[in-house]
Amino acid sequence: MISQLTRSERLGSLAVLLLLAVIGLAFAGAGNGAPLGVHGLIILLYAIGLAFVVMHGYFEAEPDPERLSSYYDDPIKVGVVLTMLWAVFGMFFGLWVSALLAWPDLTFDAGWASFGRMRPVHTSGVIFGFGGNALIATSFHVMQRTSRARLPDQFSPWFVLLGYNLFCILAISGYFMGLTQSKEYAEAEWYADIWLVIVWVVYFLLYIRTLARRKEPHIYVANWYYLAFILVVAMLHIVNNLAIPVSLGTAKSYSLFSGVQDAMTQWWYGHNAVAFFLTAGFLGMMYYYLPKRAERPIFSYRLSIISFWGITFLYMWAGSHHLHYTALPQWVQTLGMTFSVVLLVPSWASAGNALATLNGAWHRVRDDATLRFMMVAAVFYGLSTFEGSFMAIRPVNSLSHYTDWTVGHVHAGALGWVAMITFGSIYALVPWIWKRERMYSARLVEVHFWLALSGTIVYVFAMWNSGIIQGLMWRTYNDSGTLAYSFIDSLVAMHPYYIARTFGGLLFLLGAMVGTYNVLKTIRAAAPGTVQTADDKDIPADAAKPLLQPGE
């Protein structure tokens, strides 16, 4: 991989890594044994490790200029492997956290294993580690193919991918040490947040530069969704994480906002993180890989664009439905509820568009587990967006909020939509970029699909039942006007559902492990000289011909 970098890019990489190492050294010194110091040491070791990799290939010959006539896929390959490894890591801790609710002694008296620390490890590992790496890797692939242009340089993609993973490592290792700014899905402290801003700006510029080099006259719809994901996530992240550190020598910081303004900013961020991190980017994934795999054009290109603008406009105002029955002004709650209900229209437009695209290819869905992953993802996307709009209605929310119903809703989206479309896209992508005719084992893809689907169904149904029973128990009064059930009563009633949830999570984790094994075996089998496939269209210059492909 280093041989693909020019001499000036290798030198630039070493300069950036040297600067990073100096920052890590400064943190390690300022931290003086505190968590900031541990993070300084991690940064230092990360920079030194990568510097050794660059130095190892530094004196290799300059790359062949011919490489500029083909796509640059090395960062995509590493991104795919990181995606699968983060999936296993994040889901393993999700399983552990789930088991903790059924068997609380599983902390083994260790502070780092407490629920409060491991829960953000699970959420960040899955959302940012698994989901983020999948989005970065597939966006590099999709924007090159749909623009028919190579990435503008070799350094920026590596900076984005490896810099982003450094952020994930800092965030998750911080949770184990008790570092958090106590904002859901935004728990990382100030220095990790600043680093992510730098990485994200480079990501945005890289995307824009690639699109500016495109050989296609129009920008394919998947790129619209990816761009919305990159741009809006930057905006959300910066505003929600505005904070003042206690000092440059400590990890702790305090938010610029206070009271209900802080809550409103957090849920403006939180719900739009769902919209633009967990929806828009993955819709971009769906709009490319589903029609490509089905070998069918999108049912309606116009509908996909209308859905894009509907989602982009409406999602922005829906976050306040998370704060029903709080100190937030009533009109703001009502505004959030109204936009959440209307949001169902563009959301179902995309789900319906995906399913309609499969018309004429249902025989392929029956026989191809990869395509079935994508089909099921579209179904769960439609179901979870309907459920989300329904739960945003104030009277419904009074029953569902703070119960396991919300957990079931979130995981219907996370497992059924985000993970399914990701696994389907990776199974489509891996043979293409590693130049294999197919995955190592089609049977293992089938096994993974049924483990993932059954795990999702068990999990979601357990949480739906648990949440509704919880909500009803909490609002049941006896004849004297006092609560009929104590909180402990509701916990006892939930115990069987928590065991069922753990079993569902175990099935899903086993599926992810099977998928990781299959991907790694496919990669290992992809030695030079293996079969070249019909999808080896890796030469952007050829794309000057007006050759329309499904999904392009």
Structure tokens given for 488? 């402990």
Helix (H, G, I), strand (E, B) or coil at 477: strand
Annotated ligand binding at 321? The verdict is yes
Annotated ligand binding at 141? The verdict is no
Cα–Cα distance, 297 to 305 (Å, whole number)? 15
DSSP summary character for residue 483: B
Question: How is 174-233 classified by DSSP, letter by letter?
Answer: HHHTT-----TT--S-HHHHHHHHHHHHHHHHHHHHHHHT-SSSS--HHHHHHHHHHHHH
Neighbours of 527 (CB within 10 A): 9
Residue 186 CA: distances (Å) to CA of 117, 229, 255, 280: 14, 16, 12, 19
Residue type for 246, please?
A: V
Annotated ligand binding at 271? The verdict is yes
Is 551 in contact with 292 (CB distance < 8 Å)?
A: yes
Pair type for strands 253-255 and 243-245: antiparallel
Neighbours of 394 (CB within 10 A): 15
Is 513 in contact with 88 (CB distance < 8 Å)?
A: yes
Cα–Cα distance, 318 to 274 (Å, whole number)? 11
Annotated ligand binding at 448? The verdict is no
Annotated ligand binding at 56? The verdict is no
Residue 142 bridge partners (DSSP): none
CA atoms within 13 A on the CB side of 339: 21
Residue indicated by tokens 């990701």:
422
Question: Whole-angstrom distance between the N-terminal and C-terminal Cα of the chain?
Answer: 29
* Cα torsion angle, 140, 167, 402, 343, sign: negative
Annotated ligand binding at 409? The verdict is yes
Is 216 in contact with 257 (CB distance < 8 Å)?
A: no
**Residues counted in the chain:** 552
Residue 349 CA: distances (Å) to CA of 352, 378, 503: 5, 11, 34
Structure tokens given for 294? 């089905």
DSSP summary character for residue 59: T
- Neighbour-count burial for 118-133, b at 16+ CB within 10 Å, e otherwise: bbbbbbbbbbbbbbbb
Extract the annotated binding site.
122, 271, 321-322, 409, 411
Q: List binding-site positions for Cu cation.
A: 271, 321-322
Binding residues for heme b: 122, 409, 411
